[in-house]
Chains A and B, each alone.
Chain A
Amino acid sequence: MTVDPNAATQGFPSPGPARPHPARYLVPALVGAAVAVGLGAYGRIHDPAGTSFNLAGFSSTGAVKSWLATAALFFALVQVASALMLYGKLPGPRWSEALHRWSGRAAFLLAVPVAVHCLYALGYQTYETRVFWHSLLGCFFFGAFSAKMLLLRSERLPGWLLPLVGGLVFTVLTIIWLTSALWFFRTFGVTT
């Protein structure tokens, strides 16, 4: 039996420029999935309370949530603009990095009370197309956001990954807003 010296050899993993450990992507992805599924499961299993606390000065929790969500969407738009500055697609000031960080935090922290109210008072519901997508993407948003936050902690990511995940988070938040706050304003009027 002879061995063909020209046969293709099994490719060795090239020991050259660092191929990042898969945990880099796996951990954020798994944590994000766990967050999304956990929120959905909580919303589905627990008995919706129907009511929740209200903020002074607003006529209903729906109005409070709609305005909080609108504010979050505003900061999300700032996110897109400041991200374009960071990647040099738009001329930006020196502090565009801080702008990106803090507008993101603001958007996230504004969205949290809305989500708490949704999950506590209304739960995960599927009785209408709008409601179904809102429930699904609402849970997905917090998972995707968690994944993005964890990805940020890794160095040397492929260049396309953060813009992709960030764009996903923004798109999902926009759909969530369209299926809730916009619906609320169109149904009940732009009230406070």
Chain B
Amino acid sequence: MKRPGPLLTLLAGLVLGLFLLTLNVTSGTRNASSSYQEPAPSPTPTAGAASPAPSPSPSPSPTAAPPEDAEYAGRTDDDSAAIAVTVRDGKAIAYFCDGRTKESWLKGDVEDDGTLRLTGKHGAKLDGTIEADRRISGTVDVAGGHHAFTADRAKKPSGLYRATATVRSATIDAGWIVLRDGTQVGVLTRDGEPSPAPRIDPETGAVTIDGRQLTARPATP
């Protein structure tokens, strides 16, 4: 038992691993504990327009902070479909889903003032605004329908989940929106054919599709 080198190597790896894990855990809660107030969309007496007017100068005011990383989930105003948005690092992914046949994944950037302009396949489009990091309201155009929606900030386990896999040579792409009351709205696409998705276990993301155990993961941009 003479050589300390290998032991030091192992210890260094352990310390590095624990350090990164701590970094992960703390950075995950940083946003939640931040008491920082978002100044932009709060109704000020001078703001006449309903939507925050894009200022002519492209540089944002020094106090404006970009929208926090967060999940939002809600329904369209006509209650025909659910919609969920996940914001990460100035990018957003959204899922529109009626739970039967209509669905669309949309992606795009989030402006520092909280404006979202997301696009998806077949001309799908979502325009919305993040209001004080609490909710998103806007409109979504999918498959010829035009819907207004409001999505409130979601807390785990509610949010947006996705699972992709190949089961018996069929390409599976499934998405779920878990709403605050625990309702799930999901569509499963098998080789491009949409159908209602089976329920997932919102705690673990476990779901059985065509006899195969899959894990739905929180969707991120």
Contacts and interface: CB of A to CB of B under 8 A. Distances in A.
A48 interface: yes
A112 B24 CA distance: 14
Contacts of A101: 5
Contacts of B17: 112-113, 115-116
B79 interface: no
Contact of A127 (B2, B13, B213): B213
B78 interface: no
B151 to A, nearest CB: 18
Interface string A101-127: 100110011001101110011110111
Interface residues of A, number: 34
Interface string B1-40: 1110111011011001100110110011000000000000
Interface string A34-51: 000000000000011111
A113 B10 contact: no
A109 B13 contact: yes
A104 B9 contact: yes
Contacts of A49: 24, 28, 218
A107 to B, nearest CB: 10
Interface of A: 47-54, 101, 104-105, 108-109, 112-113, 115-117, 120-123, 125-128, 146, 148-150, 152-155
6 contacts: A121-B24, A126-B213, A127-B165, A149-B7, A150-B7, A155-B2
